[in-house]
């Protein structure tokens, strides 16, 4: 659900509660806007805290998530989406010490109820963690010796190194869940016994087996099932492939299979699928990367038979696929039998689909239909009371973050059942989001290039399973984070009774979005958070949700209160600095009182100095500052149009006011950075403190 014109008025008062489109698109509604803003301010630990509030697998998602958040980023109306997945990865790889320190010790069990979870993939582990944090005794049964399910056994290491998954697993284990490794339900312990020993059971076994094909030759030597192949590769049991290997399938699993096979040494690796190039279900960037690695894709061909010689694969015979879906978009392939093709190969890997092994449910009351559980999606309840399901065994194939989402839901359902014995129907998940960025607003916004990283050269990356994607540098992460529009956190009328409807906000808004309907109104779906209206409002009635200047002033007051102004280095300079000029959080961290005393400079970071009002410019003098510097972006580099001109005029007005009251207008100056803030701030401060004002702007 997105906003329409009829809802604009009501949403103005609850702008902070309207989800940005990125968060709405995330299956667990990660507060994307908040963690990106924390990165932009150098608070990487705070960004990690935001991520872990809803996603226990940030290391995994930082590497392999299909990032639905990016597909809905409103910045695409201007240039390109913010690289949210890469920012997530930057955070987890730069906060290791904080992550270890924040791990919860074993949570105290405060309930006599217990739950058993079958399967330790992302869905099962998420549910286990949530239940443990609620105080229930949780027992996880995993048939293997590793946790993570398909993440541990089917994702090639060039995409997901084991150490990345291990970080996430350690967080979950720290909650005190009880794990039974190498415990296959139906073999090592019966399903019936689990039911007797626990008050509820959650089935989260995933889809860990591959489908075969009903065609001749699938029993030939050189034919492999896709998931089994990936499982063997991930565990160092590399299958022997011939020089010409063919992968059947067009989805993401098939792409993983083909790219993993390429790294095992075949001269040629092919993919063949029913779908046309446009219809392929694999992510477009995965397809492109596979082709870069020399994998040839054969579209619109259906497997007819595996041809063999002496019991071994020698070729694959295809027939032309005329269409994959029927008129109702249901899977129903049709073929042109008169058009065939034969490709000589000596290995075939089937990557056409997955299924769950549910043999352990034989004899139970849990209904199974075609390798999938019969399950009420609203309550996650199976046909047997007290038995629930989550993850891909319930939903079908999906992403890791989708599995995490079902794990959270399952924990809610189980907790309710354990407490009441009743089935909980989950509410409708429709969310109100801010809607698309209007084209008229986007046309006035400044274009900022997305920060991209170069993958390892294809010729090098196919040599082994080393990770192929570098992490952002700090400078790259800070730059990319500042491309975020902070949707739905723009200007709003904080004090309606102060507003006289003077039209100042309408006159100066660089995006043309401010309106007056008796009082000022800034539509949240259009406002770009420049803050000009708040800075120029004569009644100080407007505030910016993203960066309320009241919080900035409070921080400044607290910093000054901690100083001995009799001993601080003189002249004492308070400097408002544009945060967008920084390339390292060394300059974003809070200054110590000792540093301020020694240097005589208190640095106040502002997302855009253009939003400083005259009151903001005068208040440092009230706190004891001898001089005030405003340091803006380099010439022409401001993120917002027209801000520079308005800021210069505001500085001039304030200087005149300071002259009128006898303080001296020259004590306030506007400077523009020369390069990054890291490089130029100290130079600017030294020049200003030495009363060298020739380079000052606005005087």
Q: What are phi and psi of 627, to 5 degrees?
A: -140, 155
pLDDT at position 699 is 38
CATH class for the domain made up of 210-353: alpha beta
What's the angle, vertex CA 277, arms to CA 271 and CA 278, rounded to 5? 145
For residue 207, which of 399, 431, 420, 32 has the smallest C-alpha distance?
Answer: 399
pLDDT at position 17 is 62
Q: What are phi and psi of 247, to 5 degrees?
A: -110, 130
pLDDT at position 691 is 67
- pLDDT above 60: residue 361: yes
Higher pLDDT, 4 or 57: 57
**Candidates 3.30.70, 1.10.3470, 3.30.420, 3.40.50; correct CATH number of 549-699?**
3.40.50
Is the CB of residue 232 less than 8 Å from the CB of residue 153? no
Q: pTM of the predicted model, to two decimals?
A: 0.92
Confidence of residue 369 (pLDDT cuts 50, 70, 90): confident
For residue 140, which of 198, 99, 100, 196 has the smallest C-alpha distance?
Answer: 198
Q: What is the pLDDT of residues 538-566, one digit of tens each?
A: 999 999 988 777 778 888 999 999 999 99
Question: Would you state the structure tokens that stand for residue 313, as one six-digit string?
Answer: 């694969």
Is the CB of residue 69 less than 8 Å from the CB of residue 25? yes
CATH class for the domain made up of 114-208+356-420: alpha beta
How do strand 368-369 and strand 372-373 relate by DSSP bridges? antiparallel
Q: What is the pLDDT of residues 280-294, one digit of tens each?
A: 999 999 999 999 999
Q: How many helices (H) and strands (E) does the chain have?
A: 27, 27
* DSSP assigned state of 675: S
Higher pLDDT, 315 or 546: 315
Lowest-pLDDT range of 11-20, 208-217, 321-330, 605-614:
11-20
Taking residues 184-206, report their average pLDDT.
96
Tell me whether residue 298 is exposed, middle or buried, using C-beta atoms within 10 angstroms of its C-beta: 0 to 12, 13 to 18, 19 or more.
Answer: middle
Higher pLDDT, 235 or 127: 127
pLDDT at position 264 is 96
Torsion sign across C-alpha atoms 617, 623, 628, 631 = negative
- pLDDT above 90: residue 479: yes
Q: What is the pLDDT of residues 567-584, one digit of tens each?
A: 999 999 999 999 888 999
Q: Where does the chain hold its CATH 3.30.70.20 domain(s)?
A: 488-546
- pLDDT above 80: residue 132: yes
pLDDT at position 632 is 93
Core vs surface per residue 164-193: b (16+ CB within 10 A) or e: bbebbbebbbbbbbebbeebbbbeebebee
pLDDT at position 587 is 85
Q: Residue 166 belongs to what H/E stretch?
A: helix 162-173
Tell me whether residue 489 is exposed, middle or buried, using C-beta atoms within 10 angstroms of its C-beta: 0 to 12, 13 to 18, 19 or more.
Answer: buried
Strand runs labelled E in 122-233: 137-141, 178-180, 200-203, 209-210, 223-225
- pLDDT above 70: residue 426: yes
How do strand 601-606 and strand 114-118 relate by DSSP bridges? unpaired
For residue 116, which of 193, 208, 186, 207 has the smallest C-alpha distance?
Answer: 193
What's the angle, vertex CA 45, arms to CA 580 and CA 32, rounded to 5? 65
Q: 10 Å Cβ neighbour count for 7?
A: 15
Q: Where does the chain hold its CATH 1.10.1060.10 domain(s)?
A: 19-102+448-481
* DSSP assigned state of 436: P
CATH class for the domain made up of 19-102+448-481: mainly alpha
Q: What is the pLDDT of residues 380-403, one digit of tens each?
A: 999 999 999 999 999 989 999 999
Confidence of residue 698 (pLDDT cuts 50, 70, 90): very low
pLDDT at position 2 is 42
Q: 10 Å Cβ neighbour count for 453?
A: 12
Please give the CATH architecture assigned to the domain spanning 488-546. Answer: 2-Layer Sandwich (3.30)
What value does the mean pLDDT of the chain take? 92
| Percent of the chain scoring above 70 in pLDDT | 96
CA distance 125 to 326: 38
For residue 408, which of 426, 428, 431, 385 has the smallest C-alpha distance?
Answer: 426
Gap between the terminal Cα atoms of the chain: 51
Cα torsion through 563, 569, 571, 577, rounded to 10: -70
Q: Where does the chain hold its CATH 3.50.50.60 domain(s)?
A: 114-208+356-420, 210-353
pLDDT at position 676 is 85
Is the CB of residue 212 less than 8 Å from the CB of residue 397? no
pLDDT at position 233 is 93
Q: What is the pLDDT of residues 644-679, one digit of tens each?
A: 999 999 999 999 999 999 999 999 999 999 888 888
Taking residues 24-53, report their average pLDDT.
95
Question: Would you state the structure tokens that stand for residue 107, as one six-digit string?
Answer: 């949570």
Taking residues 615-638, report their average pLDDT.
93
Question: Would you state the structure tokens that stand for residue 194, as one six-digit string?
Answer: 């689990």
Higher pLDDT, 96 or 695: 96
CA distance 635 to 632: 8
Region at 610 (left for phi over 0; alpha for psi -120 to 50; beta for the rest): alpha
Taking residues 100-111, report their average pLDDT.
86
- pLDDT above 70: residue 12: no
């Amino acid at each position: 659900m997105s906003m329409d014109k009829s809802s604009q008025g009501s949403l103005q008062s609850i702008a902070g509660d309207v989800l940005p489109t990125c968060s709405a698109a995330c299956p667990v509604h990660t507060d994307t806007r908040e963690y990106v803003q924390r990165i932009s301010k150098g608070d990487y630990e705070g960004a990690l805290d935001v991520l872990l509030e809803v996603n226990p697998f940030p290391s995994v998602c930082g590497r392999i998530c299909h990032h639905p958040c990016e597909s809905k980023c409103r910045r695409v109306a201007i240039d390109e989406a913010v690289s949210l997945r890469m920012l997530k990865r930057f955070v987890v790889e730069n906060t290791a010490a904080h992550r270890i320190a924040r791990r919860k010790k074993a949570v105290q069990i405060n309930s006599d109820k217990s739950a058993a979870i079958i399967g330790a993939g992302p869905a099962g582990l998420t549910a286990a963690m949530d239940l443990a944090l609620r105080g229930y005794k949780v027992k996880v049964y995993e048939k293997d010796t590793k946790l993570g399910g398909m993440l541990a056994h089917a994702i090639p290491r060039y995409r997901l190194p084991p150490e990345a998954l291990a970080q996430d697993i350690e967080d979950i284990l720290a909650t005190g869940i009880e794990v039974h490794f190498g415990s296959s339900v139906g073999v090592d312990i019966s399903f019936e016994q689990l039911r007797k020993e626990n008050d509820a059971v959650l089935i989260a076994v995933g889809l860990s087996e591959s489908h075969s094909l009903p065609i001749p030759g699938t029993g030939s030597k050189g034919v492999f099932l896709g998931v089994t192949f990936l499982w063997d590769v991930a565990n160092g049991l590399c299958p022997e492939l011939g020089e010409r290997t063919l992968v059947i399938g067009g989805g993401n699993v098939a792409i993983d299979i083909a790219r993993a096979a390429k790294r095992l040494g075949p001269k040629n690796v092919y993919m063949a699928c029913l779908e046309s190039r446009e219809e392929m279900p694999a992510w477009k960037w995965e397809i492109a990367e596979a082709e870069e690695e020399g994998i040839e894709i054969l579209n619109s061909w259906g497997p007819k038979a595996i041809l063999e010689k002496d019991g071994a694969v020698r070729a694959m015979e295809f027939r032309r696929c005329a269409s994959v879906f029927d008129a109702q978009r249901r899977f129903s392939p049709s073929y042109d039998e008169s058009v065939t093709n034969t490709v000589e190969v000596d290995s075939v890997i089937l990557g056409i689909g997955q299924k769950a092994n549910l043999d352990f449910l034989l004899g139970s009351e849990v209904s199974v239909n075609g390798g999938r559980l019969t399950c009420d999606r609203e309550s996650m309840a199976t046909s047997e009371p007290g038995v629930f399901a989550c993850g891909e065994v319930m939903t079908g194939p999906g992403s890791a973050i989708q599995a995490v989402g079902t794990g959270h839901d399952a924990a809610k359902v189980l907790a309710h059942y354990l407490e009441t014995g009743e089935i909980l129907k989950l509410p409708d998940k429709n969310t109100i989001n801010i809607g698309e960025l209007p084209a008229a607003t986007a046309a006035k916004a400044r274009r900022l290039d997305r920060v991209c990283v170069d993958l390892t050269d294809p010729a090098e990356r196919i040599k082994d399973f080393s990770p192929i994607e570098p992490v952002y540098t700090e400078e790259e992460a800070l730059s990319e984070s500042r491309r975020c529009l902070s949707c739905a956190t723009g200007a709003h009328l904080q004090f309606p009774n102060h507003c006289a409807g003077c039209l100042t906000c309408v006159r100066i808004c660089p995006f043309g979005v401010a309106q007056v309907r008796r009082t000022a109104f800034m539509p949240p779906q259009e406002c770009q958070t420049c803050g000009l209206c708040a800075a120029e409002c004569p009644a100080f009635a407007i505030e910016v949700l993203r960066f309320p200047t009241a919080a900035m002033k409070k921080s400044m007051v607290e910093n000054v209160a901690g100083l001995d102004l009799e001993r601080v280095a003189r002249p004492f300079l308070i400097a408002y600095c544009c945060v967008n000029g920084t390339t390292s959080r060394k300059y974003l961290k809070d200054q110590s009182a000792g540093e301020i005393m020694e240097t005589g400079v208190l640095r106040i970071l502002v997302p855009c100095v253009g939003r400083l009002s005259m009151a903001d410019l005068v208040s440092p003098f009230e706190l004891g500052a001898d001089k005030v510097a405003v340091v803006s972006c380099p010439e022409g580099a401001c993120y917002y149009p027209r801000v520079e001109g308005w800021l210069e005029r505001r500085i001039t007005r304030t200087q005149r006011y300071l002259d009128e009251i006898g303080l001296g207008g020259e004590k306030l100056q506007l400077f523009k950075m020369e390069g990054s803030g890291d490089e130029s701030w100290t130079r600017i401060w030294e020049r200003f403190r030495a009363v060298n004002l020739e380079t000052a702007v606005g005087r």
